[in-house]
Structure 1
Amino acid sequence: MHAFTKFLLLQLLASLGRQAFGTEIINGKKVRKTSMLFMASVQNRGGHVCGGFLISEDFVMTAAHCDNANPVSVVLGTHNLKMINNNTMRYGIQKCKHPMYKNASLGNDIMLLKLSRKAPVRKNKLIKFVQLPSLYVKPKANQTCIVAGWGWTKTNGQTVNELLATKVAIVNLNTCQELWPKRLPANVMCAGGSDSTTGFCQGDSGGPLICGKNEAVGVVSFNYMANCDYPNAPNVYTDVSKFLPWIKRILKKKKC
């Protein structure tokens, strides 16, 4: 790894509150117990179906297409899905899907999940919420960011029990569109999957793209033909900044 690349990585990890990874999403590494404490596992009665992330004491953000799996709860406070205390870590949910959502390929792939009780952010050292991005500060092309989840580690694989994360580079949206064989929806951003061997896979949907000062700038939406054998076309995320008025309105009302 070049010295400059190492410097960029160290700067990113520092800005994430020293949220470094352990030793071994696609080509990811295990996340330390004290890192990324905003991560949520969105689950149906069969277990994990999507990722998510805590944005307030009352709401988790995820992808709208995760509703296809009929989620009924979220799990907070653990990176290991084998270690769940249902009495304290599991929360019932009310789904607030974006009103313009039809399917992921048409955009608006974002959903808020109202928790059945407040997440004990101030009392529980294993639960934190993540910052939302600024409306005006955008990640730059080639900026290094992080995506995390419990999804497949290869095409047609299986989900994992321990949270994994990997570094991905932001892809300029015009470049991303040129690399995709079909028209991308509005209000998306691209990172990873192209010119690299890292990215997300099925089961990571709804998880965050973390950039800058620990900001969740994107929501995992879709990849190219469910193919996680990178490099291929860039991965596509919902651009959180484009939905800030809708998000803040719900957070203020504390209901859909």
Structure 2
Amino acid sequence: MSRTLVAFLLLGVSCSLADPLYRNEEEPALPQLDGRIVGGQDTNITFYPHQISMRYNGNHRCGGAIYEKNKVISAAHCVNTLSGPGNLTIVAGSSNIWFPNTPQQVLAVREFIIHPKYRTLNNDYDAAILILDGEFEYNDAVQPITLAKERPEHNTTVTVTGWGTTSEGGTISDVLQEVEVNVVENSECKSAYSIMLTSRMLCAGVTGGGKDACQGDSGGPLIYKNELLGIVSWGTGCAREKYPGVYCSVPDVREWLLETIDSYADVGKIDFL
């Protein structure tokens, strides 16, 4: 997840979320608003054609998912510190984020809309919609994804993808990564995150740790049955035992997403006279 400076007032601390959070076992668990794939494997964009790379000044900032030809869903914390959409671009259609000669499509961001209830304190309602300046052309590597309507049961296998770092404090991946994790019921996840966790959040991890999203994966998709189930949001460290990754639950912000997207139905369309 892309880290910015976040004040954790409830815990009386502040930290730079661009860096990994290290702590002693005696210290309280602090959320790290950053995401990357740990314990995964290389994959091809054609298996996840909804996946995009959000760039700021040409540098990878966050992930996201294509919903329509000119609309992308990502995390609010990926854009909430920006003064506007200037210098933001969306890259789709490539498995490798560093090689411009590979097939890819690039569009500028015209506007972004952050969930009105988003809270920087704990990343509640961590969802945003990006309106693009133009439209993607759909092909095998660029496709939209539908929104999940409900959460799957505890321990259901789900998949998270992204170009984030492959270890806590590591470097981001050149090639798109995928990893399977399991849904963790919020009642169980609260043992790790206590009052920071809300009903708009969804947890996923594996027993013993070792698989997770991490820095650079923020805003990226957690998918189940080819639907967008979650948006990479935050967590304590990456792939730590007893600390699942935390996602914005799409079923719980779905109504806002659909209503807002519908209100921007004609934005980005080109009229031919």
Q: TM-score, normalised by structure 2?
A: 0.77
Alignment of 1:1-256 (within 5 A): 25-68=37-80, 70=82, 72-84=88-100, 89-93=105-109, 94-103=111-120, 105-121=122-138, 124-134=139-149, 137-192=150-205, 195-211=208-224, 213-224=225-236, 227-254=237-264
Shifted more, 163-172 versus 112-121: the winner is 112-121
Structure 2 residues without counterparts, runs of 5 or longer? 1-36, 268-273
Shifted more, 29-38 versus 76-85: the winner is 76-85
Residues 187 and 142 (structure 1 numbering): CA distance in 2 closer, same or farther, change over 3 Å? same
Greater share of helix: 1
Greater share of strand: 2
Query: Partners in 2 of 1:86 and 1:72 — Cα distance?
Result: 20
Could you tell me how far 1:249 is from its partner in structure 2?
1.4
**Percent identical residues:** 29
Query: Partners in 1 of 2:142 and 2:57 — Cα distance?
Result: 23
Residue aligned with 2:72, SS:
strand
- Cα distance per residue 1:44-85 (max 9 Å; x no partner): 004101010101112111100001564611101111112336
Query: Partners in 2 of 1:88 and 1:31 — Cα distance?
Result: 16
Q: Is the 8 Å Cα contact of residues 45 and 93 (structure 2) preserved in structure 1?
A: no
Q: Which residue in the other structure is 1:20 paired with? A: none
Q: Is the 8 Å Cα contact of residues 168 and 192 (structure 1) preserved in structure 2?
A: yes
Q: Is the 8 Å Cα contact of residues 91 and 107 (structure 2) preserved in structure 1?
A: yes
Query: Partners in 2 of 1:223 and 1:159 — Cα distance?
Result: 17
Q: TM-score, normalised by structure 1?
A: 0.81
Q: Is the 8 Å Cα contact of residues 58 and 119 (structure 1) preserved in structure 2?
A: yes
Query: Partners in 2 of 1:201 and 1:82 — Cα distance?
Result: 19
Query: Partners in 1 of 2:220 and 2:137 — Cα distance?
Result: 21
Query: Partners in 2 of 1:33 and 1:68 — Cα distance?
Result: 27
